[in-house]
């Protein structure tokens, strides 16, 4: 995991639930169908109330977001188990989230899919940054810094799931650990 991500941040506050990340009316889109994957991206974070978030994550009529990192408060991704949520963020072009904390299933889905890095800051960073700030996120050294500033904000280690994240998701990890065969295969040869 030597990744360095450079770009603009999109900042949200506490308890952003999966209905705000991808509203339920878009759940008929199937992420494994390429065109629907693209469309999911165009709806990413569209459930955020316009009154609080006048600057949208993805502009209307666009598929991609100009923001590569989401900075969030507590309990990001609470609510449903829909994998559409991390997938939509990834499909829109987000590479990482730096939150104060996550809801369990959302975190697990980020790890399993490899769609976005689910990082946690040592501090509550959503009060330190504003949407549009340009930052550099160094995943390997575990720090985030504003470009042009010397202040570095440390991130928490990922712990046990580091290996899965490094492998790029659950299936790559399972193959690298010999939990399933290296090739695509039928289940009788699995585990």
Partner 1 sequence: MGMTLTEKILARKSRKKCVIPGDTVLADVDVLMTHDVCGPGTIGIMKKEFGDDARVWRSDGVVVIPDHYIFTADAKSNRNVDSLRSFAREQDLRYFYDVGNGNGDQWRYNTAAGPLKAQFGCSYAGVCHVVLAEKGHTRPGEILIGTDSHTCTAGAFGQFATGVGNTDAAFVMGTGKILLRVPRTLLFHLEGALPPGVMAKDLILHIIGEIGFDGATYQAMEFCGPGLSCLSMEERMTIANMGVEAGGKNAIFAVDDVTCEYVDRQMREHGVDVNYDVLESDSDAGYAHKFHISLDTIEPTVALHPNPGNRSLARECGDIAIDRAYIGSCTGGKLEDFLAFAHTLGDRQASVETFGVPATVDVVRKLKETPLGNTTVWDRLCDAGVIMTENAGCAACLGGPTDTFGRVNRELTCISTTNRNFPGRMGHADARIHLASPRTVAASAIAGHIADPRDYM
d(CA 144, CA 92): 21
Which of 107-115, 118-126, 132-140, 148-156 is the region at the interface with partner 1 (rule: CB under 8 A)? 107-115
φ, ψ for residue 48 (rounded to 5)? -65, 135
Contact string (CB under 8 A) for partner 1, positions 4-43, x = contact: -----------x-x-xx--xxx-xxxxxxx--x-------
Structural tokens at position 170: 């659950």
Choose one: 63-71, 109-117, 118-126, 141-149; the region binding partner 1 (CB under 8 A).
109-117
Nearest-angstrom CA–CA distance, 46 and 60: 9
- The residue from 9, 11, 82, 116 that contacts partner 1 (CB under 8 A) is 82
| E strand or H helix at 12 | none
Q: Which of 6, 55, 59, 81 binds partner 1 (CB under 8 A)?
A: 81
Give the tokens for residue 46. Answer: 């569209």
> Which residue, 70 or 135, is less far from partner 1 as judged by CB?
70
Of the ranges 1-9, 128-136, 148-156, 165-173, which one interacts with partner 1 (CB under 8 A)?
A: 165-173
d(CA 96, CA 103): 16
């Amino acid at each position: 995991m030597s990744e360095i991500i450079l770009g603009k941040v999109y900042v949200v506050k506490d308890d952003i639930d999966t209905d705000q990340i991808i509203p339920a009316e878009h759940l008929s889109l199937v992420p494994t169908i390429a065109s629907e994957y693209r469309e999911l991206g165009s709806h990413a974070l569209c459930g955020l109330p316009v009154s609080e978030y006048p600057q949208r994550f993805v502009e209307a009529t666009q598929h991609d977001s100009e923001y590569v990192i989401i900075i969030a408060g507590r309990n990001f991704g609470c609510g449903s188990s829909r994998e559409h949520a991390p997938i939509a963020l990834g499909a829109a072009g987000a590479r990482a989230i730096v939150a104060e904390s996550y809801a369990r299933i959302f975190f697990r889905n980020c790890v399993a899919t490899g769609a976005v890095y689910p990082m946690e800051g040592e501090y509550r960073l959503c009060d330190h940054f504003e949407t549009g700030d340009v930052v550099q996120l160094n995943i390997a050294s575990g720090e985030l810094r504003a470009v042009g500033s010397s202040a570095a904000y440390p991130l928490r280690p990922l712990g046990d799931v580091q290996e899965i994240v490094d492998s790029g998701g659950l299936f790559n990890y399972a193959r690298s650990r010999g939990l399933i065969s290296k090739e695509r295969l039928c289940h009788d040869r699995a585990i």
